[in-house]
Amino acid sequence: MNVDLLLRNARLASGCDCVDLAIKDGLIVAIAPQIRCEAVETEDLEGAFAFPGFVDSHIHLDKACILQRCTICAGTLEEAVRETARAKVDFTEEDVFQRASKLVEKAILHGTNRMRTFVEIDPRVGMQSFSAIKRVRQHYAAAIDIQICAFAQEGLTQEPETGAMLDAALSSGADLIGGCPYTDAHPREHVRAIFALARKHDVDVDFHLDFSLDPEKTDLPAVIEATRQNGYAGRVSIGHVTNLSALSRDALLQVGRTMAEAGIALTVLPATDLFLMGREYASHVPRGIAPAHLLAKLGVQTSIATNNVLNPFTPFGDASLARMSNLYANVMQLCRDEDIETVFAMVSAQAAAILGTPHTLRVGGKADLVVLDATDPCDAVRSAAPAMAGWKNGRKTFTRPKPRLLSQSS
């Protein structure tokens, strides 16, 4: 057998022996211990953990890296929406392209090879961010698959032009539609309008939802109802839903069972939720992160994602999902291997399922893989393991060699 690339000594799962992967024409053609073949190129992974790559199911490339243009005083959600709306007026296509490109490059270097980015489309910014993100998707297509979610961050019913613009975006390259009922004066109508556009274009739906600590203030019943009415089970995601963190365990499990039954996925955004929630508390500040791992046990599709980077929603970040999974596990006080493995799935296989993209290393499958400086998924989460190399369609997309300590002997 002649192959293009032979990767030796990869560890694909916890407690398993190392295997070799043979790659030809962008596909994996063999996975076995000590493969004997002619290879154009051979690389020894020295027992490192290899998997299909991190999947960021919720990021905002268009408004990343604008911290210097904004003022953060209160650190609240309202302030973040207001400050970003103000900064957005001055966005240009080239400006968005440059900032988004910088962040996508960071994500690739951290081992992410699939992502869903929200892009705000409204009268303030027009179609400029959307045009820029389409260019970014094209520019980095060899290294990362980018889904574009046309997003109504600032309401819909009070700004009818936004609906027409989202409609146009869905006809010209957007992959799905995103709504935000909490910024709309009429949340139920907002949900209905988003579903109507989704049905018209036959695309999935992703809502920013219930971003508070008040379980009484919820748009989830409206989303569940619309999901059922429109036959959209398995095509709806909701992000944040921080008020789930304020529910009793029984009430939480009841919501989880309803979501699993309705086919609604949940994405938590730990960095943003931790930064914005609980500002009204002077002590014993609540964490404000929905316990997604508990809902995963009930069959809810769940993911952990980056959300914002260096802006008033999250003045931190580097698009590393290894770091984000570590943050979630730590804040949620998890320790058992079983739970940590669930957390890893939430930045990889589970997140891929939400995006509707395959995520396995198998013979006959695409040679999309990432190697981490870790032995298995648990080790990757516990140590926030750095990515060391990645391939997409069999082509190497990045390398980040392991740092080496210089000899200490004189």
Q: What is the three-state SS of 295-340?
A: HHCCCCCEEECCECCCECCECCCCCCHHHHHHHHHHHCCCCCHHHH
Q: Which of 240, 323 has the CB closer to Zn ion?
A: 240
Q: Can you tell me which of 84, 218, 242, 307 binds Zn ion, judged by CB under 5 A?
A: 307
Q: Which of 297, 316 has the CB closer to Zn ion?
A: 316
Q: Which of 128, 311 has the CB closer to Zn ion?
A: 311
Length of the chain measured in residues:
410
- The stretch near Zn ion (CB under 5 A) out of 24-32, 104-112, 304-312, 402-410 is 304-312
Strand partners of residue 10? 19
Tell me the closest approach of the beta carbon of residue 58 to Zn ion, in angstroms: 6
Report the 10 Å Cβ neighbour count for 164: 9
- The stretch near Zn ion (CB under 5 A) out of 170-178, 299-307, 341-349, 352-360 is 299-307
Tell me the closest approach of the beta carbon of residue 64 to Zn ion, in angstroms: 11
Tell me the closest approach of the beta carbon of residue 270 to Zn ion, in angstroms: 12
- Residue 165 CA to residue 172 CA, distance in Å, equals 11
What binding mask, one character per residue, do residues 363-392 give for Zn ion by CB under 5 A, x or -?
------------------------------
- In sequence order, what are the residues at sequence separation of 6 or more whose Cβ sits closer than 8 angstroms to the Cβ of residue 261? none
Q: Which of 43, 83 has the CB closer to Zn ion?
A: 83
The number of C-alpha atoms within 13 Å of 300 and in the hemisphere containing its C-beta is 28
Structure tokens at 45: 């992974």
Q: Is 84 in the site for Zn ion (CB under 5 A)?
A: no
- The stretch near Zn ion (CB under 5 A) out of 241-249, 279-287, 303-311, 345-353 is 303-311
- Residue 291 CA to residue 302 CA, distance in Å, equals 10
Q: Which of 242, 397 has the CB closer to Zn ion?
A: 242
Tell me the closest approach of the beta carbon of residue 112 to Zn ion, in angstroms: 16
Handedness of CA 105, 110, 113, 115 (dihedral sign): negative
Positions touching Zn ion (CB under 5 A) are: 307
